[in-house]
Amino acid sequence: MNPKIALVTGASSGIGYETALKLLSENYEVYGIGRSYPDDLPEGFHPLVFDLSDTLALPAFIKANVPAEIDLLINCAGVSYYGPHETLSVKSLHEMVSVNVEAPLILTNLLLRGLRERGGTIVMISSVTAKQSNNTFGCAYGATKAAMSHFSDSLFEEVRKSGVRILTLHPDLTDTALYRNADFRPADTPDCVLSPAEVADAVLWATKARCGMVVRDITLRPQRNRIERRK
Task: Round to whole Å and give the CA distance between 104 and 111.
Answer: 11
**Residues 6 or more apart whose Cβ sits within 8 Å of residue 39:** none
Write down the pTM of the prediction: 0.94
pLDDT at 231: 67
Contacts for 48 with CB less than 8 Å, ≥ 6 apart: 31, 32, 33, 34, 61, 65, 66
Determine the pLDDT at residue 2.
Answer: 76
b/e burial code for range 94-115 (CB count within 10 A of at least 16 → b): ebbbbbbbbbbebbbebbbebb
Model confidence pLDDT, tens digit, residues 10-26 = 999 999 999 999 999 99
Measured CA to CA, the distance from residue 88 to residue 74 in angstroms comes to 28
The C-alpha angle 109, 164, 103, rounded to 5 degrees, equals 25
Q: What is the pLDDT along the chain (231 residues), one digit of tens a residue?
A: 678 999 999 999 999 999 999 999 999 999 999 998 988 899 999 999 999 999 999 999 999 999 988 999 999 999 999 999 999 999 999 999 999 999 999 999 999 999 999 999 999 999 999 999 888 899 999 999 999 999 999 999 999 999 999 999 999 999 888 888 877 788 888 899 999 999 999 999 999 999 899 999 999 999 998 888 876
Q: What percent of the chain has pLDDT over 90?
A: 83
What is the DSSP-derived secondary structure letter of residue 44? T
- Residues, the chain, total? 231
**Burial of 163 from C-beta contacts in 10 A (0-12 / 13-18 / 19+):** middle
pLDDT 10s digits, 166-188: 999 999 999 888 888 877 788 88
